[in-house]
Chains A and B, each alone.
Chain A
Amino acid sequence: MQAPRFRWHIVVFLAPAVLVYTAVMIFPLFNTLRLALYSEIENVRVFVGLDNFKSLFGDPLWSKQFWNALGNNFWFFCIHMLVQNPIGIALAAMLSHPRLRFAALYRSAIFIPTILSFVIVGFAWKLILSPIWGIAPSMLKAVGLRSLFAPWLGKEDYALTALSLVSVWQFVGIPMMLIYAALLSIPDEILEAGEIDGITGMSSFWKIKLPLILPSIGIISILTFVGNFNAFDLIYTAQGALAGPDFSTDILGTFMYRTFFGFQLQLGDPNMGSAIASAMFAIILIGVCFYLFAIQTRMRRYQL
């Protein structure tokens, strides 16, 4: 019997994707992890083991900034989980109502911010929130609530929350669309069966739809997590790479950018940048593994 012919076409089909993906994504990823173990001493790259991580977590010069950025990043993520995803689910629930008119119009309008560039979003919100020539102060004044206005982007206590909410405003369309699709795929028979048992209105959402869309909510949570922990663009466009005021909006992405490339008077340090990238990698990996093994496996799925 002849040995089966080697199927070259499989190689041809796989090669371009595997090559590009390996060379531009996987290899640099591991190379970055490797670079984190080196340091530049007098223009020579030398192996220093875990020294970079020691200074990142322990040396006050670095660790203060690192823990600040990490803490801020968690707060950024919390706001997305607590505000963006519930609003997205609520909007999707309303939009998926079978007899709602103008649903397509609402859907498109609410999705528009998601397709906008960060540059426009950052600029528009600065135009609205600026205490000097902003729209928000004069609008609040018009309704007699000027005293409620505070320079939200300028004070350490509020700036991060304000920017997180801007980011929520921009991205609420994504959970909305995913949940909307999940809700539409629930067969009418199930809802009708519920109606016969007297489950209507709000309780049909809580008791029938919500359990059915839980897997989608899980996916949205992990997407939010990954997206938030490598966010950069909005902070950079609104507050610059220094993530002012006084680093109160600094997150891991902006911290890595400053460290890696240098900014203004700070010199760039690619090895320290790699160390921060490795820390981000570890955080994202832990989050994803937690989701895959602790949450997804326990989530009950229903056959529709």
Chain B
Amino acid sequence: MNKARSNPVSALAMHGALIIYTLIAMFPVFVILINSFKSRKAIFREPLSLPNSDSFSMIGYETVMQQGDFFLYFQNSMIVTVASLFFILLFGAMAAFALSEYRFKGNTIMGLYLALGIMIPIRIGTVAILEMMVATGLVNSLWALILVYTAQGLPLAIFILSEFMRQVSDDLKNAGRVDGLSEYTIFARIVVPLVRPAMATVAVFNMIPIWNDLWFPLILAPAEETKTLTLGSQVFIGQFVTDWKRSAFGAFHGHPAGAHSLYHFLTPTHSRHYVRSREMIKVLIAGLGNMGFSHAMAHHNHPDSQIVALVNRSKSFPQSELDQYPLYTDFHEALGKVKPDLVVIATYSDSHTDFAIAAMKAGCHVFVEKPLSTTVADAKRVVQTAIETGRKLVIGYILRHHPSWMRFVDEARNLGGPYVFRLNLNQQSTGSEWETHKNLMQTTSPIVDCGVHYVDVMCQITDAKPVMVNGIGLRLSDEIAPDMYNYGQLQVTFSDGSVGWYEAGWGPMMSETAFFVKDIVSPNGSRFHRRWQQGGLGRCRRPH
């Protein structure tokens, strides 16, 4: 009789369709699996090839073990998932029993009230949930997540379990009552064992969304010690695949969305105590020149930062709110005395290496202005120290951390190359600005001074190696050295065919119109960067 339904041709067609869809479903999973065993270079060179003796590498797993505290993240996820499931099942079964077993006033209303949450996603109430968690001090604790997931899972659990409990025979329960069992014993000994399959269904339904959730860990518990595996890997992948995506502060504060997200919400209102109750980051600022001063002011104003000391060789720096902080003239003395968590190094380039290494050896994270060191060997030593001590090392390469540039690079990359890069930065300067420019030109010409940033932007976008560079320049003023030039332009050719142009000029003679071009063209369209405020992005170096 089954003959009519089983026709070999249609069976073949079905298998064909199912195999094709199975391949579509499994292919990305396969890509992830093979690439997890390859070195980073091999991933980007040939993402589809199987790992061989050449490209096989456990570096991914090693980095995971070293960098992120993945055991802790895993443990957090386990605790949250298991505890939430436990409470969903326990409280859900109890409520379902009450609703299905007893007739009482308001039974139907209570059932409807509890069912409301099946259709309304809990995320809608996030703003108030965060306020509540802040007020009760539960923010950045696993309890916050457990409570939210329990509340989220209860409506469906109660709905399913009460359907099943209605099917449990009354005779069994009444027999128990005749034997003098309490209602609690009947629930625990008779009803729960009988609905165990339904409870398993509820557990499976809830487990995956809880384990995979990104929203609430990101909002309620982004701290390092409460990160779940999902949030931890999001931060980790964001950091290592697209490392320009993370701001310097995000790195220190462990908040993937950048530093200001939580505190902007929390500080202006009644929730200030939240900030105080959180551990402040103790900061030592070394060097109070132009950059150092502005770092110091940023930390002064940052609610999570507390400046513990300033270091400056001379005692002269602008009168300001910074006067309240202890000032040292010797870096090493300050480091030994105040025991900071974070050291910001904005001194002259020749001291960067020693200060950074000393700070990391003293257990501090380090933010150091560019250049990291004056020689490649020194730079390697600093990086090696960072790896050995496990400290975070961030270099003040501002375009890599500037939101608008991060977005610019990201969007350009998504278009695909080869690219035309058209970048310039001409600064018409007079008076004291021109004096500053002339001082800078005692060592560095305009295209070198700012050009490092823009060639770096080009490299970040293409991933290809520069293969040819041409440059020309012109001395437009007698006020600078005979072998210096205050206007220059350079052309770069990359191995993928991309071409780049960068132009920079300083001085009173520069034109006002050809001021700021940041333009990227690809076969798939273009992106440009609009200078949004005078003196902001447009300046590579602010005159002092």
- The answer to the question of A182 belonging to the interface, with a C-beta cut-off of 8 Å to chain B, is no
A16 near B245 (CB under 8 angstroms)? no
* Distance, CA A64 to CA B410, complexed state (A): 23
Those of B213-253 within 8 Å (CB) of chain A:
213-215, 219, 229-230, 233-234, 237, 241, 245, 247
B349 an interface residue at 8 Å Cβ cutoff?
no
Interface residue from A121, A242, A267 paired with B264 (Cβ < 8 Å):
A267
Q: Is the CB of A24 within 8 A of B148?
A: yes
Name 23 A/B residue pairs within 8 A (Cβ), A-sorted. A17-B154, A20-B154, A24-B132, A28-B132, A118-B212, A119-B230, A119-B233, A120-B32, A123-B32, A124-B29, A130-B413, A131-B524, A154-B411, A169-B24, A195-B1, A230-B124, A233-B212, A242-B407, A244-B414, A268-B261, A277-B124, A277-B127, A278-B124
State the majority secondary structure of interface residues on B: helix
Bound Cα distance from A124 to B525, whole angstroms: 25
Q: Does B4 contact A (CB under 8 A)?
A: yes
Given A43-B268, A123-B237, A124-B32, CB of A270 within 8 Å of CB of B127? yes
Could you say which of B5, B27, B155, B237 contacts A21, with CB atoms under 8 Å apart? B155
- Interface set of A (CB-CB < 8 Å, partner B): 7, 9-10, 12-14, 16-18, 20-21, 23-29, 31-32, 35, 40, 43, 45, 87, 90-91, 94-95, 97-100, 102, 106, 109-110, 112-121, 123-128, 130-135, 137-139, 150-151, 153-155, 159, 169, 172, 192, 195, 200-201, 222, 226, 230, 232-233, 236-237, 240-242, 244-246, 253, 256-257, 260-265, 267-268, 270, 273-274, 277-278, 280-281, 284-285, 288
List residues of B whose CB falls within 8 A of some A CB. Answer: 1-2, 4-7, 10-11, 14-15, 17-18, 21-22, 24-29, 31-32, 35, 43-45, 47-48, 87, 90-92, 94-95, 97-99, 102, 104, 110, 113-114, 116-117, 119-132, 147-148, 150-152, 154-155, 158, 182-184, 187, 208, 211-215, 219, 229-230, 233-234, 237, 241, 245, 247, 257-258, 260-262, 264-265, 268-269, 403-404, 407, 410-411, 413-417, 462-463, 524-525
Contacts of A100 in B (CB 8 A): 11, 14-15
The answer on a CB contact under 8 Å between B264 and A261 is yes
B125–A25 touching, CB < 8 Å: yes
Smallest CB separation, A267 vs chain B (Å): 5
Docked-complex contact B407 and A244, CB < 8 angstroms:
yes
- Determine whether the beta carbon of B152 is less than 8 Å from that of A25: yes
- A138 CA / B269 CA spacing, docked (Å): 53
Shortest beta-carbon contacts, A-B, top 6: A131-B416, A154-B414, A264-B403, A28-B125, A31-B128, A24-B151
B151 touches which one: A21, A32, A40, A132 (CB < 8 A)?
A21
A153-B123 CB under 8 A given contacts A10-B104, A25-B151, A118-B212: no
Residues of B within 8 A of A14 (CB): 94-95, 98-99, 110
B400 CB to nearest chain A CB (Å): 14
Smallest Cβ-Cβ distance to B45: which chain A residue: A133
Q: How far is the CB of A134 from chain B (nearest CB, A)?
A: 7
Q: What's the A-B contact tally at a CB cutoff of 8 Å?
A: 308
Given contacts A21-B117, A201-B7, contact A132 B29 (CB under 8 A): no
Once A25-B117, A32-B128, A117-B233 are accepted as A-B contacts, the answer to whether A109 and B25 lie under 8 Å apart by CB is yes
Judge whether A118 and B268 touch: CB under 8 Å. Answer: no
Contact B241 A131 (CB under 8 A): no
Query: Which one of A7, A256, A268 has the greatest number of beta carbons of chain B within 10 Å?
Result: A268
**Contacts A23-B132, A114-B208, A119-B237 given; 17 further ones with Cβ under 8 A?**
A13-B94, A16-B90, A40-B268, A43-B269, A90-B17, A109-B22, A113-B28, A117-B233, A118-B212, A120-B233, A192-B1, A232-B123, A232-B215, A262-B265, A264-B403, A268-B261, A268-B265
Please give, as numbers and ranges, the residues of chain B lying within 8 Å of A222 by CB-CB distance. Answer: 119
- Given A26-B116, A150-B524: A119 in contact with B415 (beta carbons within 8 A): no
**Cβ of B28: which chain A residues have Cβ within 8 Å of it?**
113, 121, 124-125, 128, 169
Residues of A within 8 A of B130 (CB): 270
Please state if A133 and B47 are interface contacts (CB–CB under 8 Å). yes
Q: A232 contacts which chain B residues (CB < 8 A)?
A: 123, 214-215
Shortest C-beta distance, A271 to chain B (Å), equals 8
A153 touches B414 (CB 8 A): yes
| B359 CB to nearest A CB, Å | 28
Report chain B residues within 8 Å CB of A9: 182-184
The distance from the CB of B519 to the nearest CB of chain A, in whole angstroms, is: 16
Whether B261 pairs with A18 at a CB distance below 8 angstroms is no
B24 near A263 (CB under 8 angstroms)? no
A112 touches B265 (CB 8 A): no
- Does A119 contact B125, Cβ atoms closer than 8 Å? no
Which of B14, B31, B128, B229 is within 8 Å of A128, CB to CB? B31
